[in-house]
Amino acid sequence: MSALPFEQARGCVVEQVLAGRGEVPSEEVPLEAACGRVLAEPAYADRDYPPVARSLRDGFALRSIDTPGKLRVVGEVRAGEVFQGVVRPGEAVEIMTGAPVPAGADAVIMIERVRREGQIVAVEEPVPPGQWINARASEAARGELLLEAGRRIGYAEVAMLATLGRARVLVYRRPRVAVLPTGDEIVELDQQPLDHQIRNSNAYSLGAQIRRAGGLAELLPVAPDEIEPMRALISRAREADLLLISGGVSAGKYDLVERVLAALGAQFYFRGVLMQPGYPLVFGRLDKLLFFGLPGNPVCTMLSFELFARAAMELLEGRKEVGLPLLWTRLAAPFRHKPGLTRFAPARLSLDGTSVVPVRWRGSSDIVALTRSNAFIMAEADRESWEPGDWIRVLQR
């Protein structure tokens, strides 16, 4: 099975996850626990928004036809109140931001634009109809779709749901993601590694990425480079929605992950992606369980999750579509790579997002360089070099 180009591999993940997803289970949660979850039912406007015409400024409600001119102030209306009278020719009502516009008035002038002498305000400019008024139903009409199912709930969506009176919200269930680190060189965090050993960082970084993406992480014990223990640990993950296996997918003698999965009857959708780092990435299905075999070097593992496994997770969580958070910005330093692979390199994106500079790194095991970056430069497979000032795509970290 040939390695796929980057974009084709992304498309394969989306296609296969959607094809086998079925109906995503849902659950009801309190609104205060809904942020970050995916909405499982549409939300419609329960009334017009705003339900009455409201003032957008502190000032005076008046009849536009009476301006310019001197008007008599006949009352005041604050937010949360209703003016009981009607604005008649030559009259104005002092009004506060958010207050309902009195009957008879069709415009508001800001308090800074008038001269007031007692109960008389002098308006020295023509005021157009509708000025500084938020008309009834101008934001949304009763029954209008406001939030569609499959949308991730952020703070704005929480505000909208609270406005609609949704104290409880139906959301899709979080996907369960099992993480299986592999390798005889891996030791646990509380152990002192020998020079030929490394601590189990991949399981914890993947757990953090899973939780940040909205999933539930289950960290399995480290699988040694032996067939039977690895088979047993993969079998433990069969009830999860997604399995992430870290390491053991390269071409080495003891890279056993694909051999074990194949023996268990797995179907492989691709074995390798034309990208660096992360070339030996594996994706497939074992009965109902989707799995990724992620390259074991830490930067490979973290990057492969963001580029592929995160998309699968979000679709399993009820999202209807997924995309990469890429932006175009200008290089602040030269960048070169060998064409043929889509290449990702740690970089530092400026605070305003207008420039990016590559971070010096020593390869895909260099976590230190990754902590000094906040993005990845994405270099196209068919281009060799970029100069300062050239536009380039960036994946924010």
* C-alpha dist (Å) from residue 335 to 114, 153, 362, 384: 59, 38, 15, 9
Could you tell me the pLDDT band of residue 4, with boundaries at 50, 70 and 90?
very high
> Is the pLDDT assigned to residue 13 strictly greater than 90?
yes
Could you tell me the pLDDT band of residue 320, with boundaries at 50, 70 and 90?
confident
* Averaged pLDDT for residues 322-336: 95
**What backbone phi and psi angles, to 5 degrees, belong to 211?**
-65, -40
Could you tell me the pLDDT band of residue 2, with boundaries at 50, 70 and 90?
confident
Run of H or E residues at 147: strand 145-147
> Is the pLDDT assigned to residue 377 strictly greater than 80?
yes
Query: pLDDT of 67-125, one tens digit each?
Result: 999 999 999 999 999 999 999 999 999 999 999 999 999 999 999 999 999 999 999 99
CATH tag, 27-47+145-172? 3.90.105.10
Scored b (16 or more CB within 10 A) or e, 301-327 reads: bbbbbbbbbbbbbbbbbbbeebeeeee
CATH-assigned architecture of domain 54-134: Beta Complex (2.170)
Query: pLDDT of 22-48, one tens digit each?
Result: 999 999 999 999 999 999 999 999 999
- Average pLDDT of the chain is 95
What secondary structure letter does DSSP report for 309?
Answer: I
Return the CATH number of 326-396, one of 2.40.340.10, 2.70.98.60, 3.40.190.10, 3.30.420.40.
2.40.340.10
Residue with tokens 């199912």: 149
Rounded to whole angstroms, how far apart are CA atoms 310 and 213? 7
Query: pLDDT of 183-205, one tens digit each?
Result: 999 999 899 999 999 999 999 99
Query: pLDDT of 295-315, one tens digit each?
Result: 989 999 999 999 999 999 999
* pLDDT confidence of residue 240: 97
Could you tell me the pTM of the whole model? 0.89
Scored b (16 or more CB within 10 A) or e, 109-141 reads: beeeebeeeeeebebeeebeeebbbbebbeebe
Could you tell me the pLDDT band of residue 254, with boundaries at 50, 70 and 90?
low
DSSP-derived 3-state class of residue 252: coil
State whether the Cα torsion 111-116-122-124 is positive or negative. Answer: negative
* pLDDT confidence of residue 229: 94
Radius of gyration, alpha carbons of the chain:
30
C-alpha torsion 311→314→320→321, nearest 10: -30
* C-alpha dist (Å) from residue 279 to 11, 16, 200, 228: 16, 20, 22, 26
The structure tokens listed for 326 are 């890429």
Query: pLDDT of 214-240, one tens digit each?
Result: 999 999 999 999 999 999 999 999 999
> Is the pLDDT assigned to residue 14 strictly greater than 80?
yes
CATH topology of domain 4-25+173-316: Molybdenum Cofactor Biosythetic Enzyme; Chain A (3.40.980)
Q: Structural domain boundaries of the chain?
A: 4-25+173-316, 27-47+145-172, 54-134, 326-396
